[in-house]
Structure 1
Amino acid sequence: MDHVVYLDAKEKELEKLLSGEKSMIIRGAAGRKLPHGRVYAGDVLWFIENSGDGLVRACATVKGVFNSEKLTEQESQKLIAEHQKNLCLTPNQMKRWGGKRYLVLMEIEKLYEVAPFSIDRSEYGNMDDWLPVGDIESVRK
């Protein structure tokens, strides 16, 4: 399964992944929303920065996934702190994800840059930061 994943351009997430400083991505919410329970080891993540250009710039394989059960604010913050070495979150990101009741931590491997290309988002009405596209070729422009 291929997923299009938006990364925080302001916090230089893609840069940190490409440099090896960061090897894990996080998503979280008050409920079990995407990608909770929908991403697995072996899935392929295609990365776009949320800078407005809409171009896929890199690709990686999911090495491992942790889907949390319902967490308290303290448990959520503790889980993030335990994985901070791989997550490499800024204080703003710690604030954003800390306290979420459901967290998904994804360790990635085989990361490489790709020739930038755009995707067709017309099938995805909501402006979510995670799109389960099935096959990247089905949305590549």
Structure 2
Amino acid sequence: MRKAEWYEGKEGIAQHLVYLNAKAKELEKLVHKDKTMIIRGAAGRKCPLGGRAKVNDVIYFVETGGDMMVTHKGIISKVIESEKMTPDESIAFIKIYEQELNLSKDQYKRWAGKRFLAVYEISLLQEIEPFKYNRENNMDDWIITDDINKIKL
């Protein structure tokens, strides 16, 4: 699977396939509305998705360590991307969205202190007919495509 260069800076709706942490019960928390946002971070030189996840994009979910079945989809209803932060600023950023993120202790440790963070609010979450996708050699936990059918098996 190639990196999604086609989407760099493009307008319009993209489709995303996103891994949720099964151990932290992220999908379950989203379904029960105990969580309304997901988070991604980067220690490098830029925000994790660099503006490629936008409001109204469709987002599909698969859980880590499971049967690799995509079971739910939703809509990105809000995107908040940080500027470069110090570790203390990163922790403060997470605190602002603490309730919406409902992070496990391990997740908090993973994201707190990152130079860049982004949170994505998920709306209209619904169960879908499960499908598997073609992972190939892609180890990313967030895959962007113009059509989810291109990666379905």
Measured against the shorter chain, the TM-score band is: over 0.9
Among residues 17, 20, 35, which one is paired with 1:7 in the alignment?
20
* Pairs within 5 Å for 1:55-94: 55-94=69-108
Among residues 52, 62, 76, which one is paired with 1:48 in the alignment?
62
What percent identity do the matched residue pairs reach?
A: 45
RMSD of aligned alpha carbons: 1.1
Whether contact under 8 Å (2:48, 2:118) holds in the other structure is no
Once the two structures are superposed, residues 65-96 of structure 1 have per-residue CA deviations (whole angstroms, 9 ceiling, x without a partner) of 01111011001100101101100001111111
1:99 Cα deviation (Å)? 0.3
Structure 2 residues not aligned, in runs of 5+: 1-13
Report what 2:43 is aligned to. Answer: 30
Whether contact under 8 Å (1:36, 1:104) holds in the other structure is no
Question: Number of residue pairs matched?
Answer: 139
Q: Which amino acid aligns with 2:152?
A: R
The whole-number CA distance in structure 2 between the counterparts of 1:90 and 1:62 is: 22
TM-score (norm. length: structure 1) = 0.94
Among residues 81, 100, 103, which one is paired with 2:117 in the alignment?
103
4+ residue runs over 6 A deviation: none
Whether contact under 8 Å (1:63, 1:109) holds in the other structure is yes
The whole-number CA distance in structure 2 between the counterparts of 1:13 and 1:74 is: 25
1:127 Cα deviation (Å)? 0.7
Among residues 132, 135, 140, which one is paired with 2:147 in the alignment?
135
TM-score (norm. length: structure 2) = 0.87
